[in-house]
Amino acid sequence: ALTAHSPVGLSPKDYGIEPHYADITFANNDVAFTDSTGIDHEIFSEGLRKSLFNYMHGICFEYDLQEWFNFEIPQTSIAPDYIINCIESEPFPQVKSSSKIVWLGNMPTIEIYQGESKGLQVEYMQMTFHDKRSSHEISMLSDKGQWLIDNLEDLKIDEGSIMTYGQLKSSYEESLDDFTLFWFGDSMTAMREIGLLVL
């Protein structure tokens, strides 16, 4: 099925398909179609489902495209350094080293699970943060998650001395990789949306 307002839905003839529109009352998000190209689109379903699931959890970005599919796929036309070039052309917002970092939320429940990366088993941590109205799940590599858990308690405002961005960055880079990429990644962006403040 396709979405009516997608590029394929807007120009179906360019893609060799014929949509079968139905009378609807709300949105054309699941339009059936006939494909004259002979491509079996179903073979992509599982790989796309898995890759989207991982993308939504902010993990497995380092996977080669082929890893999501159990059949040979064409080489991508996107340059391997496309994302880093985008990042470098739009630099991250500057955070002062002296900025205070405060955690207003509760400590999460934790679940460790296994994933696969380049044929190797990799451990991930899913943290579930509960508040009075809702729950928020955030996943990341287990070592990064453990570092975050180890530091969250110290970031609570009632702990007395408040850590700065510079101190947090130094702590992270003692044993892990580039803090800026971690801090502005999806998982930490989600943390800032649920109570991790920069003051």
Whether 125 and 189 have beta carbons less than 8 Å apart is answered as: no
Q: How many CB atoms lie within 10 A of CB 132?
A: 4
The pLDDT value recorded for residue 78 is 86
Give, in order, the Cα–Cα distances in Å from 107 to each of 72, 125, 132, 167, 169: 44, 14, 13, 21, 21
What is the 3 state secondary structure string of 146-199? HHHHHHHHHHEHHHCCCCEHHHHHHHHHHHCCCHHHHHCCHHHHHHHHCCEEEC
The pLDDT value recorded for residue 174 is 96
The pLDDT value recorded for residue 23 is 77
Whether 89 and 170 have beta carbons less than 8 Å apart is answered as: no
DSSP string, 98-162: T-BEEE-SPPPEEEEEEEEETTEEEEEEEEEEE-SS-EEEEEEEHHHHHHHHHHHGGGBGGGSSP
> Vertex 56, ends 165 and 102: CA angle to 5°?
20
**Whether the model pTM is above 0.75:** no
Mean pLDDT, each 10-residue run in order, the chain (199 residues):
81 88 73 84 89 88 89 87 78 86 94 83 94 91 96 84 92 94 93 94
Segment 173-190, tens digit of pLDDT: 999 999 999 999 999 999
Nearest Cα neighbor of 50 from 62, 38, 34, 67 is 67
First to last CA, the chain: 46
Q: How far is CA 20 from the centre of its chain?
A: 33
Segment 132-149, tens digit of pLDDT: 889 999 999 999 999 999
